[in-house]
Structure 1
Amino acid sequence: MRIALGCDHGGFPLKAKVAEVVKSCGHEIVDLGTDSSCSVDYPDYGLTGGLAIARREADRAILLCGSGIGISVAANKVPGVRAGVCHDTYSAHQGVEHDDMNVLCLGARIVGEALALEIVQSFLNARYTNEERHARRLAKLLEIERRANSGEWTQAS
């Protein structure tokens, strides 16, 4: 798989270790930056990560910021992105298996390095099950996204 990897300054200290795990699992990295601990804005990297998924430049993405939350909110603004903040291995694989999560967001200031790397492995090893109940729920999510993007819910009645 091609894995887009991006972070803001808060996630930067963890980025190189995540890249090592991604490569050791046999995946290709699409590096989205940042490349230093200088202060940058997480929305820029959440957007870049989301666009890598939407444009099919990557199969999945891993995005890092201090808490994981800001970069997740930004990535989820891009149609087709299903980003989740995961700070445990169960959520990382279950999010893929049940919800077809395609972007893992981690808080580099929240989880320790060893746990973060286990979470990454769990995310990378998981596959969407496409079981009927999961497919039905995913279809509902996609319909919500379609209706929201069409402006259907924001137009005056």
Structure 2
Amino acid sequence: MTKKAFLNCYDAVLGALDRLAAAIVTASMAVLAAVLLLQVFFRYALNDSLAWGWDVPRVCFIWAVMFAIPLGIRYNAHVGIELLVDRFNASAKRIVVSLNAVLILILSAIIAYYAALLTADTWDQLMPGIPLSVGVFYASLVIGQVHTCLHVGRIAITGEPPSEHWSES
């Protein structure tokens, strides 16, 4: 398999994962907003509170953030300072981008590993308002960081930032 064919296959898999992640982020934010509005209505109009009114938005927010991180990498939307790197020639830029991607890959892999351990350790603990495991918080971190590893792995392979090699899919 040629490098170009491999990258095309890799991009297809990443594109599918990105669409799934975007759907999860969208659904999480919609549920978060709906539950918060419902909680406000219950508190101020009915002078009551939903027992699960804090746990559900917290889960949705964390899942939205964890799944948005790799999407930010995909669209090169994270904040970065390129003042120095922009002065480098093309080959030096490629080296710096690849090195940065490898370092992020290592960090993300370590985070995913420890998050997996925390997921297992906390899976038997339930949230106070809903019968859902506390491990769900850490599971989103595992999934998000593995997805992030796939994106920065692509950058490390090519030495190109996402905007230069990915077409919209």
| TM-score interval for Structure 1 and Structure 2 normalised by the shorter chain | under 0.3
Higher strand share: 1
Larger radius of gyration: 2
TM-score by length of 1: 0.24
What TM-score comes out, normalization by structure 2 length? Answer: 0.23
